Amino acid sequence: MTVTFHSARIEADPVVPLIRITRDFAATPAQLLRAHVDPELYARWVGPNDISTRIDHWDARSGGSWAFTNLRDGEEFAFHGCFHEVSANRIVQTFTFDGWPEGVSLETLTFTDLGDGRTRMVATSLVDSFEGRDQWLTSGMEVGVNDGYSKLDQLLAAGAVEAQEEE
């Protein structure tokens, strides 16, 4: 089976210091939600191809928090945040790179069912200044976003991301 990878559209809002990432997936909203809230799955796909991810703390629920560390060639890059809302079609969370603690972003991910087993994910990241936004944009985030989503495509195609049954 051939899996076609698509690039995410990454846009800088001209009016507010916000980055918008739009990407379609061959998945249901429930599968994308699980890929973002299940720590074992998340660690398998997030970030650039040349890093591995260690989950340090993960409580994916409204009011929960998270922390993970990316590892590359003996270097560690740590991140943390809080889950403000986790629902069937939306996640709202903060995101902080520990090496730049003043650069907190507020992220909202929405999952829109397009039908036929396809979902559009839109992720917005709001920061406190245009300088901060531009620093994120020039940090190499495009590689991490596209590599990560390509890995997620592979997990989805392999059947590794099943929707969680509601409790």
The DSSP result for 16-57, as a single string, is SSEEEEEEEESS-HHHHHHHHH-HHHHHHHSS-TT-EEEEEE
Using alpha carbons only, how large is the chain's radius of gyration in Å?
15
- What domains appear along the chain, each with residue ranges and CATH number? 9-157 (3.30.530.20)
Q: What is the pLDDT of residues 65-123, one digit of tens each?
A: 999 999 999 999 999 999 999 999 999 999 999 988 788 999 999 999 999 999 999 99
Residue 7 burial (10 A CB sphere; 0-12, 13-18, 19+): exposed
pTM of structure:
0.90
State yes or no: pLDDT of 165 exceeds 70. Answer: no
State yes or no: pLDDT of 57 exceeds 90. Answer: yes
CA nearest to 48, candidates 71, 31, 65:
71
State yes or no: pLDDT of 46 exceeds 70. Answer: yes
d(CA 35, CA 163): 9
